[in-house]
């Protein structure tokens, strides 16, 4: 499976942004992506504030935009600024309006799911406890959104 994925020429090569406060989840997610053969650069933000600074939406370097990530994997429950707020800010900015955002969360609440979609999330994925299922889900997601972006920006 790994080889197949890595060899796909149509996969975009931009960075993947991971917003996640739990180090375990960061490690497992990164491992899952790598296991799926996704070798793209991965930006990790430890909460909403870091994420927004990293995208130059807030903080000292707010005026100089970085290069666009291919996809954002966004946790919802985070200290300081949570995932909903980050999503709201992204969708409110000209630059990130159409940036693919995948909500990756432990919450199975319908409420959270509904709110995430209404704020403009592209996908909503519950983090499964079963690590195989998790691995598969993250891998699929990454590939899918990388593929979509590739197709969009030739």
Partner 1 sequence: MRLGSLSISSQLFIVVILAVVPVLLSFIVYFSMVYSAERQRGLQQAERITDALARAHGNQFEYARSLLRVLAEHATAVSPCEPDYRRLVDESDYLFNAGVIDADGTVDCAALIADSDSDLSEASFFRRAVTAGTTVIGDAMLPFADSGRESPVIHVARAIPGKQGAVVFLALDPVESILPPALAALPESYILTLVDEDGRVLFRNVESERWVGHRVDGAQVLREQVQDGFISLVMEGLDGVERRHVAYEVSLDERGSVYAVAAVPITDDQVQAARYLKLSLILLFAALLTTAVLTYWVSRRFVRGNVSPLLKQIERIRYGMSLKDGESRPEMSREFRDLQAHLRQADEERRTTLERLRLHVEESPVAVVEWDPDFRVRGWSARAEDMFGWAAEEVLGYHPSDWRFVYEPDWPGLSGYLETITSNPRTRPQYEVRVWTRDGQLLSCAWYTSVIRDSQGQPESFLSFIVDVSARADAEEALLRLNESLEWRVAERTRELELANRELESFSYSVSHDLRAPLRAIDGFAQALEEDFEAQLDGAAGNYLQRIRAAARRMGALIDDLLRLARVSQADLRVEIISLSDLASEICLELQENNPEHEVAWFVEPGLAVSADRALARMALENLIENAWKFTRGKEQPRVELKLVKRDDGGSCFELWDNGAGFDQRYVDRIFEPFQRLHSGQEFEGTGIGLATVRRVMERHQGWIQAESDEGGGARFLFCFGFGVNQCSQPGVEDER
**Closest distance between partner 1 and the C-beta of residue 112, in Å?**
9
How many beta carbons lie within 10 A of that of residue 70, not counting itself? 25
3-state DSSP assignment of residue 99: coil
Q: Does 22 bind partner 1 (CB under 8 A)?
A: yes
Residues 42 to 71 in contact with partner 1, rule: CB under 8 A: none
**Closest distance between partner 1 and the C-beta of residue 126, in Å?**
9
Q: Does 9 bind partner 1 (CB under 8 A)?
A: no
What residues contact 1, with CB distance under 8 A and at least 6 apart? Answer: 36, 37
The DSSP 8-state label assigned to residue 68 in this structure reads P
- Give me 138's structure tokens: 């993250």
What residues contact 3, with CB distance under 8 A and at least 6 apart? Answer: 37
Q: Does 34 bind partner 1 (CB under 8 A)?
A: no
Residues 80 to 139 in contact with partner 1, rule: CB under 8 A: 105-109, 127-132, 134-135
Binding site for partner 1 (CB under 8 A): 22, 24-25, 28, 31, 77, 105-109, 127-132, 134-135
């Amino acid at each position: 499976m790994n080889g197949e994925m890595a060899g796909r020429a149509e996969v975009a090569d931009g960075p993947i942004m991971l917003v996640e406060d739990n180090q375990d989840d960061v490690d497992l997610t990164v491992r899952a992506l790598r296991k799926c053969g996704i070798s793209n650069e991965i930006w990790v933000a430890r909460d909403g504030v870091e994420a927004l600074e990293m995208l130059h939406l807030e903080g000292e370097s707010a005026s100089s935009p970085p290069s666009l990530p291919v996809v954002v994997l966004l946790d919802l429950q985070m200290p300081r600024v949570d995932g909903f707020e980050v999503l709201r800010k992204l969708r409110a900015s000209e630059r990130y309006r159409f940036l693919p955002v995948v909500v990756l969360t432990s919450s199975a609440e319908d409420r959270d799911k509904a709110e995430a979609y209404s704020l403009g999330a592209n996908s909503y994925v519950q983090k499964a406890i079963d690590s195989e299922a998790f691995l598969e889900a993250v891998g699929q997601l990454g590939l899918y959104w990388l593929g979509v972006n590739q197709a969009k920006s030739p």
